[in-house]
A and B are shown apart, each in its own frame.
Chain A
Amino acid sequence: MAEVTLIKNAAEQQLAAEWAAAKVRLPGAAPLREAAFERFAKAGLPNRRVEEWKYTDLRALMRDAKPLVARPGAEVFAKLKDAGAGLGDLDARRIVIADGYLAPGWSDQDAHDPGVTVTELFAWLSEQNLYRLGDLPEAARNDIAVSLNTAFMTGGVVIHVAKDACIERPIHLAHVFSGKPAAAAYPRSLIIMEPGARLMLIESFEGPDGVDYQVNTALQIFAGEGAHADHIKVTREGDKALHISSLLADVGAHARFNTFLFTTGGAVTRNQLFLRFGGEETIASIRGATLLRGKQHADTTMVVDHAAVGCQSREVFKSVLDQQSRGIFQGKIIVQPGAQKTDAKMGSHALMLSEDAEADNKPELEIYADDVQCGHGATAGDLDEDLLFYLRARGIPRAEAEALLIQAFVGEAIEGIEHAGLREALMEAVDAWLKARG
């Protein structure tokens, strides 16, 4: 078959030009960056012909690729006081990542929590641990968004939790895009949890409205045997932002792994999860809630790879879609040969508040073992008129009755979060979203 040369669109040409200009000054991991960029150069931006990206055609959605963000100066770092605020009283250790770079002035980097160390990505990186950056779940290795993050990664942190250390205070990675002009940030962080370690990590993403900045972030989690990882990601980017996020997790035996994705902001959001359960008897809860309005587009695409015996995973994703918004869920569960006694249940539910909203649901099960329990359920529908009538017959006006039912719908996903403060903060965020609905 003849080689087909892709005609590059504007964004692809800009990315190539950025690469040519930036590669000499990008810190560290040069061979890894080079190889990752080559993958992009060959494949181009993900588009609708790539099955995993069929509902989020980046080639069409990205009119242009923004220039690589500059390292923020003192004037940016001076304005980060409220980074990641509005998530309730978390009592978390806050680490601020501004424009993809660790912001030392606002980071609780040197706080003394025994058992955990927080190091800037490139300060941590050495020839001995470089392999970690390339150690990705199989399904992520050829993903072009992940490749672009690797090629351009600007900075981030590496959080290391010692064996059997139980870290009481959650760590909050507060990502902020600082403002004009529009640019592209590529934060990359790693969480390395030794066997028996326990950590709760909150990631938040925010930025100004009216600026079409781009964020392509990646987080690698290595959870050792018997580790307990809680991860919560709150995405509330500015209304013109493009946000692509990849969660890359490798979870060991007898571990607990909980993740929750809460999305309200951004013009286009793509949340990718590549999770590999490589050891036996792991229990995982993978959940999310997305609330969209206007022309917002949010895509949650997940590959859960059950590669060992007796793991249990529960996936519940809820989306509330108002006006002309579009919510996408693609969930794939793979049960590898020999991963007997796998117990995986996936549910994806969309509540459509408008005739013009769109929900796309694509559950997939790939099962290569014969003694497993796997199931999926997907629903999309509008608010139940009988329920609304019951509430209204008690004197509750329509808007309030709708709000109660929407809270109940989303709450079913949120109530699984163990951290009470965060659970309340997210319910408050739902309330705020509902109030803005009017």
Chain B
Amino acid sequence: MPLLEIKNLHVEIDGKKILNGLDLTVKAGEVHAIMGPNGSGKSTLAYVLAGKADYEVTGGEVLFNGENVLEMDPDERAAKGVFLAFQYPIEIPGVATMTFLRTALNAQRKHRGEAELNTPEFMKRVREAAGKLSINQDMLRRAVNVGFSGGEKKRNEILQMALLEPRLAVLDETDSGLDIDALKIVADGVNRLRSPERSSIVITHYQRLLNYIVPDIVHVLSKGRIVKTGGKELALELEKSGYAQFQEAPVAAE
């Protein structure tokens, strides 16, 4: 059974069709890259997988480990192992980063029937994960993402991912706004999680990130559906030729 199976998915927001019959199958252990021009539906796909409320699924299904995730609340999906690294991680004033991490980790453990982590064990895990991502104690002491630079916010997303150890990580343009050093740190974080049980969907506009997170399969998304699928060499090809070949001719103004 594949880890993720998306069949003929149709999604609208405010009556506007964004995904038009998207099919995607991700097996355990695979890293898929989804590339595509702006407005092709990449972020919509990420949000729909995580369960954001504004999106209306008008057709198709999404099975995660054989279960229909579209009927699950966002927190239930997360507890089952779906993780979205946000393109724009938001600031949560007044909620301490450590409180947030601990609440999230223990909520997921509770959902899975595991015991809560005690404080020393939790602190140990955070310190280890943070160290690998060059996240210092000062950042951990602040409120979630408050006063973080763009790069720090992205690293904080990867920290959460490292602690929560999801089965499926969806990275929504995690490379945007990162310099090359930060990009390497983030990519290392993602690669550390690679295992035969875990999968990732790396959504990106550019090929650059894929030099560091080498995908097994690359898809091109255009107008809300996958229009081409290939190996990692497809990303390089796209870098040269651009996305124009996958877009229809511009519609004449009405």
Interface residues of A (CB under 8 A from B): 385-387, 389-398, 400-401, 404-405, 407-409, 411-412
Contacts and interface: CB of A to CB of B under 8 A. Distances in A.
Interface in B59-82: 73-75, 77-79
Nearest to B163: A394
B103 A396 contact: yes
Interface residues of B, number: 30
What are the 6 closest A-B residue pairs judged by CB atoms, nearest first?
Answer: A408-B94, A395-B78, A394-B104, A395-B108, A392-B74, A392-B75
B100 interface: yes
Contact of A405 (B53, B79, B95): B95
B92 interface: yes
B111 A391 contact: no
Contacts of A401: 75
B202 interface: no
Interface of B: 50-53, 73-75, 77-79, 83-84, 86, 89-90, 92-95, 99-100, 103-105, 107-108, 111, 143, 160, 164
A404 B103 contact: yes
Given A400-B107, A404-B99, A390 B94 contact: no
A412 B94 contact: yes
B109 to A, nearest CB: 9
Contacts of A394: 75, 78, 100, 104, 107-108, 160, 164
B101 to A, nearest CB: 8
12 contacts: A386-B90, A389-B50, A389-B51, A389-B53, A390-B89, A392-B51, A392-B75, A393-B83, A394-B104, A397-B75, A405-B94, A408-B95
Contacts of A409: 94
A396 B104 contact: yes
Nearest to A399: B75
B107 A387 contact: no
A400 B84 CA distance: 19
Nearest to B108: A395
A389 B94 contact: no
Contacts of B84: 393
A395 B75 contact: yes
A396 B95 contact: no
A411 B78 contact: no
Residue among A390, A397, A407, A409 with max Cβ neighbours from chain B (10 Å): A390
A385 B74 CA distance: 12
Contacts of A405: 92, 94-95
Contact of A396 (B77, B86, B89, B107): B107
A396 B94 CA distance: 17
Contacts of A389: 50-53, 74
B140 to A, nearest CB: 16
Contacts of A407: 94-95
A120 B107 CA distance: 53
Contacts of B92: 387, 390-391, 405, 408
Contacts of A408: 92-95, 143
Given A389-B53, A390-B92, A404-B100, A398 B73 contact: yes
B94 A395 contact: no
Nearest to A386: B90
A405 to B, nearest CB: 7
Contacts of B160: 394
Given A389-B52, A389-B74, A408-B93, A397 B99 contact: no
Contacts of B75: 392-398, 401
Task: Please indicate which of the listed interface residues B50, B93, B95 has the most CB atoms of chain A within 10 Å of its own CB.
Answer: B95
